[in-house]
């Protein structure tokens, strides 16, 4: 088999990269370990920055997002038992859109297949060679295949195989593990508020979010070694009621469809290229979910990567490809700082004494009352404009 770009991973990064390359006249093949049904059903992020929304529209895959997505003009910081709204539209003129990652994936799969894209689900035994730009794998029928490419794109997430194909000495790794995790639930219940609520509470952080007018996404801060088996549905709802309590607020309950515990970490590798292999999205960097940056960073990566690979493969211009990692990492580190700042301001930390808790509350009160501080939060949350 032969193609110009071999893409490992059919998440939003790999699929969007394939689509953007197609629009530029560059061929690709996408390989994915999971089957299509699994990929389209897995629940991940749900907040799209405005630059992400605009890019999806420009790429011709925003119709369903515009019809079903939930535009939000702000968020609430809940502390001292009350909401303090950060008005994105008033402060920046921009907004976010709540639209599930799995919905973005569905849109991209449908578009790529309609355009004749080569998407191969259910592959196994995948091995990549960054120097030769080849991929060895077994297809869904178990037959061994070799895919020969001009370049490879590793879009297979934090636990994927492409980053491990790079010699350890060729990468610089920056990482930080936070001393807590998030217990997340997906509930069949209408959202209890029209916008996201980020809650600081002495018992720990809580987040009220949503996926649709009938599905609520909720999170609780828990210890990093917490067992989901110890959390009955009733215990989850009782803790959410306690942490999200505020005057005039009623939390709507419903059947819990999914629940799980996710650790919190920051992770960045550099460079994001080794020989003919380029890394994008979670394969190269992880942020804590507090800032809602994960999927948006992946999409920003592949926007830049599609331009770089088009210049390399159709214009014989290696410049953008050589600058790819450094250009991406400038945005990644800004997002890392914002996510760390949000996380540090809103979570309780083991061993925090009253002095440290008062510092957090002072920061929250300043952010909620200062136009300058609120604007800084807002412009980072809605997404900084893409660089040229």
Active site residue 106: no
Per the domain annotation, does 255 fall within a domain? yes
Which of the residues 99, 178, 219, 381 is marked catalytic? Answer: 381
Q: For residue 29, count other CB atoms closer than 10 A to its CB.
A: 21
Active site residue 72: yes
Q: What's the CATH number where 318 sits?
A: 3.50.50.60
Whether 154 and 105 share a structural domain:
yes
Per the domain annotation, does 61 fall within a domain? no
pTM, two decimals, is 0.96
Active site residue 179: no
C-alpha 350, offset from chain centre: 27
Whether 13 and 119 share a structural domain:
yes
Which of the residues 193, 201, 285, 293 is marked catalytic? Answer: 293
Please give the pLDDT value at position 102: 93
Whether 127 and 231 share a structural domain:
no
Token code pair at residue 213: 């007018």
Whether 277 and 235 share a structural domain:
no
Interior CA angle at 161 toward 268 and 108, to 5°? 85
- Residue 337 belongs to domain spanning: 5-46+100-171+271-345
Per the domain annotation, does 155 fall within a domain? yes
Which of the residues 289, 320, 324, 347 is marked catalytic? Answer: 289
Which of the residues 99, 198, 200, 219 is marked catalytic? Answer: 198
Residue whose tokens read 């136009």: 371
With 90 as the cut, is the pLDDT of residue 324 above it? yes
SS3 266: strand
Token code pair at residue 385: 């404009």
Please give the pLDDT value at position 214: 94
Whether 30 and 124 share a structural domain:
yes
Kind of pairing between the strands at 197-199 and 256-270: unpaired
User: Cis bond leading into 271, ω under 30°?
Assistant: yes
Using pLDDT thresholds of 50, 70 and 90, give the confidence band for residue 42.
Answer: confident
Whether 319 and 355 share a structural domain:
no
pLDDT digits (tens, 9 = 90+) for 17-27: 999 999 999 99
Closest of 35, 100, 95 to residue 64, by C-alpha: 100
Active site residue 219: no
Q: What is the rounded average pLDDT for all residues in the chain?
A: 96
Token code pair at residue 140: 């869904």
Closest of 117, 112, 171, 162 to residue 9, by C-alpha: 162
Which of the residues 19, 22, 72, 201 is marked catalytic? Answer: 72
Active site residue 366: no
Per the domain annotation, does 74 fall within a domain? no
Q: What is the DSSP string of 95-154?
A: -EEE--HHHHHHHHHHHHHHTT-EEE-S-EEEEEETTTTEEEEE-TTS-EEEEE-SEEEE
């Amino acid at each position: 088999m032969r193609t110009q770009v071999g893409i490992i991973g059919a998440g939003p990064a790999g699929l969007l990269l394939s689509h953007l390359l197609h629009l530029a006249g560059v061929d690709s093949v996408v390989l994915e370990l999971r089957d299509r049904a699994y990929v389209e059903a897995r629940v991940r992020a749900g907040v799209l920055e405005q630059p992400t929304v605009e890019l999806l529209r420009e790429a011709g895959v925003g119709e369903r997002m515009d019809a079903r997505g939930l535009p939000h003009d702000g968020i609430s910081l809940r502390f001292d038992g009350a909401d303090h709204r950060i008005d994105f539209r008033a402060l920046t003129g921009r907004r976010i859109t709540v639209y599930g990652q799995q919905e973005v994936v569905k849109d991209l799969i449908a578009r790529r297949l309609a355009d004749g894209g080569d998407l191969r689900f259910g592959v196994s035994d995948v091995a990549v060679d960054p120097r030769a730009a080849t991929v060895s794998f077994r297809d869904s029928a178990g037959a061994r295949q070799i895919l020969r490419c001009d370049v490879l794109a590793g879009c297979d997430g934090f636990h994927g195989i492409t980053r491990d194909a790079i010699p350890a000495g060729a990468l610089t790794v920056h990482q930080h593990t936070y001393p807590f995790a998030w217990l997340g639930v997906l509930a069949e219940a209408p959202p209890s508020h029209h916008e996201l609520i980020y809650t600081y509470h002495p018992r720990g952080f809580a987040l009220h979010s949503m996926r649709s007018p009938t599905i609520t996404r909720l999170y609780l801060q828990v210890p990093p070694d917490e067992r989901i088996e110890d959390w009955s549905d009733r215990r989850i709802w009782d803790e959410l009621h306690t942490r999200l309590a505020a005057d005039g607020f009623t939390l709507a309950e419903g059947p819990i469809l999914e629940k799980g515990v996710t650790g919190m970490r920051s992770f960045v590798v550099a460079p994001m290229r080794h020989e003919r292999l380029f890394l994008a999205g979670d394969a190269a960097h992880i942020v804590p979910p507090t800032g809602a940056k994960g999927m948006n960073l992946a999409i920003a990566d592949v926007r830049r990567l599609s331009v770089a690979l088009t210049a390399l493969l159709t214009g014989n211009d290696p410049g953008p490809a050589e600058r790819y990692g450094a250009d991406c990492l400038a945005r990644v580190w800004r997002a890392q700082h914002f996510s760390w700042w949000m996380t540090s301001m809103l979570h309780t930390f083991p061993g925090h004494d009253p002095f440290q808790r008062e510092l957090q509350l002072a920061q929250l009160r300043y952010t909620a009352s200062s136009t300058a501080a609120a604007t800084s939060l807002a412009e980072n949350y809605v997404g900084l404009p893409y660089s040229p």
